[in-house]
Structure 1
Amino acid sequence: MAFSSSLAPFLPASGTFRAHPTRRLQAGAPERLAASSSPPPDVVVTRERGKNAKLIAALEKHNIHSLELPLIKHVEGPDTYRLSDVLRDDKFDWITITSPEAAAVFLQGWKAAGSPKVQIAVVGEGTARVFDEVTQSDDQSLEVAFSPSKAMGKVLASELPRSNENRCKVLYPASAKAGHEIQDGLSERGFDVMRLNTYTTVPVEDVEPLTLNLAMSAPVVAVASPSALRAWLNLVSKVNWNNSVACIGETTASAAKKLGLKSIYYPTAPGLEGPQNVENWAGPVCRVTGLVDDVGGRL
């Protein structure tokens, strides 16, 4: 399984890291005793609470011990309540959706608007799956009609087909913290883009100190977004933390490099949801911990 690193592949000396019996921990007060008595984890998984199970399970296949430490949570954005009005009052050639959270928020606004007919372009298999319940029903008003050749926003911006040669209107419901590469890339190609910041992310603040200390002992932290990465660096800002970071894809890895991290690993096939994609992300984690000798042959 192919993956990339900003450094040469890291192979620790024999015995540096050991596989531990699989145990699942979550950040919070109930875990104080577990955190103080548990062996050091091999990897810290940091997505929002309830969204780490697939990666934990993929790592457990290789006897890699995970510590769950949610670093961010999603909250309403400044345009959350505008979405349904915009969908009700205007028509768009495309709706571009770039994450499962953006998809979930969009569906709420779309249903509140009376489920108007829309054509969706998605980034990633996991994002597309959020729409399965609607697309598999008898209601044909929502169609997932396009996905780029690589699950990246800049690729979507370069490949999205024009359904109208004269004026192609795109609605882009996004995180308030998302970059501008999609709207800028589409605008440069002549699309008329309306962006709505329908949600945002905030760091989790109630991290139990003993759990955080256990997390900092792990050789790898796995992050799924630049926001999660910044939240982690803020938590460890007072210590000299320079271990490895396994990123979900190239965008997060680029953010890690800009933030000064050196040992950065990421899969060449980005994405999370779906058995194959979650294994892609698990690959760099396995490699950097040294717990799997032949990642390509085992994942």
Structure 2
Amino acid sequence: MDSLAAAPGTGPATSPLPVLRVSKVAKTLKDLPTDRSLVMGVLNVTPDSFSDGGRFGSSDEAIAEGLRMHYAGADIIDVGGESTRPNADLTLPDEEQQRILPVVKALVKAGALISVDTMHASTAAKAIDAGAAVVNDVSGLDFDPAMPALIAERKVPYVLLHRRGTAATMGSLAQYENVVEEVITEMSRVRDAFVSAGVDPSLIILDPGLGFAKNEDHNWSILRAINRLNTLGHRVLIGASRKRFLGTLLTSAGKAAAPQERDHATVAVSALAAANGAWGVRVHDVGPNLDAVKVSAAWTDQAPG
């Protein structure tokens, strides 16, 4: 693996690839570091992503970006073909698969550990066939009824994210008396449904869904409660990268910070989440966040919960 730039199907790289920062290729989550929080790189193969404006809408562009993430040290690369921004249009599974499967195949061939970001069991199945090792499902409480049986059969780790409603309706459903306890209760019901379908509980990873049917105050309350989430006995993934609540925090002259102006705040969240026991952080800019979780691990001198 002397040069990932020459990987089949990648096309010409738009910038030189950095020195590889991973010591070995991880084939499964069990091969990944256990002495620090993991870093999951976000790779959107969509024309309408909130965070990157569809910069990686083609397979070649997405593969090249995925290779850069891999070289920057991403433990996992999360490939998605449907935007999850508020009011995003629905993407049909066939179109989603056309977007992501070539990217998944190329990055797996290059040695990256891949997660597929999808709400559709049919897409998840084809991505697993293509080499994806994790399913990251942002459907929340209204999951594809075929998904539990698929995860039980394939025995791959499954990220269960909390969300109420759909991209079009979730904003109106951000109403809670106690956001932390209600999120835990609602995620636990979905978790129980998957376990009842035969999914090994150890395969379930919980993501409290920052920004999904939650306002700024809700998001901060959840971040302060990572230790509480860890008491559920599952690994916890935090996805704060470039989210709107960070833009609001960084408002200057009455204008919220744009998505790519939120990276420094994202790094701060990653460090604090790692220090509070998050198993992983899902981010757009891999290198600085990898540095942050390494610093956090050295500072706390303990493995994540």
TM-score between both structures, scaled by the size of structure 2: 0.30
- Structure with bigger helix share is 2
TM-score between both structures, scaled by the size of structure 1: 0.30
> In terms of Rg, which structure is larger?
1
- Structure with bigger strand share is 1
